[in-house]
Structure 1
């Protein structure tokens, strides 16, 4: 089995990660004195988050700088952190996108439109019907909670496997595609807020998963959901769009894992509605946005590779077939 040792230098994923952190810092400064912005320890919340995103950008730049100087041995924990530091930002970006979206829209949403589409397409609100019909089955609830939780594993684990196998370029390509797709979705959520069924329907908000008992993963997901503000990023479903993107990437990069990933992903899609996080139309729209997201990611990768001289000699843009002949393992 051949391996691809990590190359020292600035990568497209580094530019994307730093750029997104700077964008979030600027957005928080723009809304620094918004009436809905809170305070933490007497300091404006948005100012603290702006500083946090600037520190995140500086942290990534610092890791890249150390890598360029050869201070991060290939395969070391420090190099692993340098490679996947952007994944630490995902949750913070997502949570703050929702807050910023609510500030921009003053709490308004397009939920009536999509709830109406749900009725028109299916004749019912599936987010109401499914848990009411099957919610007494604790084992099924647990499966749904696990599938929803598996999203976090899919985001990270697949590319860690590639890294562990020495397939650094493939890992960085896949990481770039996922992160670029997130970037587009985040920007969309800022200007097109949809809160989702559990916020739109009072009966679901009142129950807040008390009707869906399970076991271990029920407890984990209830804890995650407990104080999370998730109202504003429902359409299209990022759970669906990103998990399908991961599945598409794994068809080429990790084909032996595809049967397992496909089953988990399929249940994940169902769980987004069953756990009343999304309308079923959100799922369909999640499918629909994947092709343009993949095209955009491929285009952006090529542009950044062309702009970075080091990458032209050490890496390949997403979409090129070079180096994939050994990937089917």
Structure 2
């Protein structure tokens, strides 16, 4: 599975868009079209379109910088910027799905039917102490650090595959984000306080329509409230969390993809990340960010999404002359 590094750098120094930039511009265009379709119903469509234009300008500005100074560092900057923009694209999904009727009642009822309880409620009741709360919150907090570790490892040790893994990761996020736009599910931490815990305890899960279009109250997470990682997670959710993106869990899906990438390049790296991965998957339900079915489907879809994103990269961005079998 080896590609000559000089060939890789020579090919890339002479072309405009990296694969990850191409897919980002495609997602940008698709959501811009959706904004125009929903223009009269959206809260601030003009600003959203201007922000998308700014992302396009930034992308081509970095391409120009790379053409002036073609090297690993500027290549890393270009791809790192596109990955960092995921922090913008995630809450952006809420601006679309807030317009559609919420579907949490469907998933809460399904959860009750499958498990005869609400696992997100029962889990934190069974394990309230700091001995459980802190490790689970630590795992949840290490979601982005896990991604960073694997990306940097590829950059330093397998630079010839760096563009591919960046593309697969960003494309995987976008696949989940497109689904979130069309399937508005907020998760227990938003839905349960919206209907009240008395209804949850009575197994009554009413539909709330477009309630989240004007309400986004987030219930404080369960567990040890004075814990270091508990407060880190709470602070990060206060800044970036929205009533969106619950089904399927991208935390579970993307972290599973990250583990696949780690395993393929270095088994020891995968073993080091495994405890954080397991704690993260458990934490998605423990902190009530997701229903249990969100986590299970997130795990199951990860393998399909990984294969789809990899196939897209091979078909769209690798010339048959340079394609190699893995």
Give the shorter-chain TM-score range: 0.7 to 0.9
The alpha-carbon distance between structure 1 residues 195 and 60, as it changes in their structure 2 partners (threshold 3 A), is same
Residue 154 of structure 2 corresponds to residue 158 of structure 1: no
Aligned-residue offset at 1:141: 1.4
CA RMSD of aligned residues (A): 2.4
Q: Which has the higher contact order (CA 8 A, sep 6+)?
A: 2
**Deviations for 1:149-185, whole angstroms, at most 9, x for unmatched residues?**
11111222211121123x2232211111111111111
Q: 1:190 and 1:207, CA in 2 relative to 1: closer, same or farther beyond 3 A?
A: closer
Question: Of the candidates 185, 189, 197, which is equivalent to residue 188 of structure 2?
Answer: 197
How far apart in 2 are the matches of 1:172 and 1:253? 15
Q: CA deviation at 1:53?
A: 1.5
Contact 1:170 1:253 (8 Å CA) reproduced: no
Q: Report the equivalent of 1:217.
A: 229
Query: Which runs of structure 2 are paired with 1:304-315 in the superposition (5 Å)?
Result: 304-305=316-317
1:65 maps to 2:58? no
User: Which residue of 16, 26, 42 corresponds with 1:19?
Assistant: 26
My pick for the range that moved more, 4-13 or 111-120, is 4-13
Q: What is the CA distance between 1:272 and its match in structure 2?
A: 0.1
User: What's the CA shift for 1:18?
Assistant: 1.9
Query: What is the deviation of 1:75?
Result: 3.5
Q: How many residues align?
A: 298
The aligned counterpart of 1:47 is 46
Q: Which runs of 5+ in 1 are unaligned?
A: 38-44, 322-329
Deviations 1:246-265, CA, capped at 9 Å, x for gaps: 11111112322111212211
The 2-side partners of 1:227 and 1:83 are apart by: 24
Q: Specify which of 277, 284, 287 is matched with residue 275 of structure 1.
A: 287
CA deviations on 1:85-125 (whole Å, 9 max, x unpaired) are 2112111111011221112x0xx222122112212222211
Asked whether 1:91 is paired with 2:83, we answer: no
**Structure 2 equivalent of residue 185 of structure 1:** 176
TM-score, with structure 2 as normaliser: 0.83
Question: The residue matched to 1:233 in structure 2 has which SS?
Answer: coil
**Correspondence 1:56 to 2:49:** no
How many angstroms apart in 1 are the aligned matches of 2:45 and 2:296?
34
Q: Give the distance between the partners of 1:119 and 1:209, measured in 2 at CA.
A: 21
- 2:35 paired with 1:31: no
* 1:74, distance to aligned residue in structure 2 (A): 2.0
Give, in whole Å, the separation in 2 of the partners of 1:133 and 1:247: 28
Instruction: Give distance in 1, aligned partners of 2:323 and 2:58.
Output: 25
| Counterpart check, 1:143 vs 2:135 | yes
Displacement of 1:210 in angstroms is: 6.4
CA contact (8 A) 1:94 1:186 kept: yes
- Per-residue CA distance 1:24-67 (angstroms, 9 max, x = gap): 33333433332x51xxxxxxx32112111221122112222332
Matches within 5 A, 1:241-252: 241-252=253-264
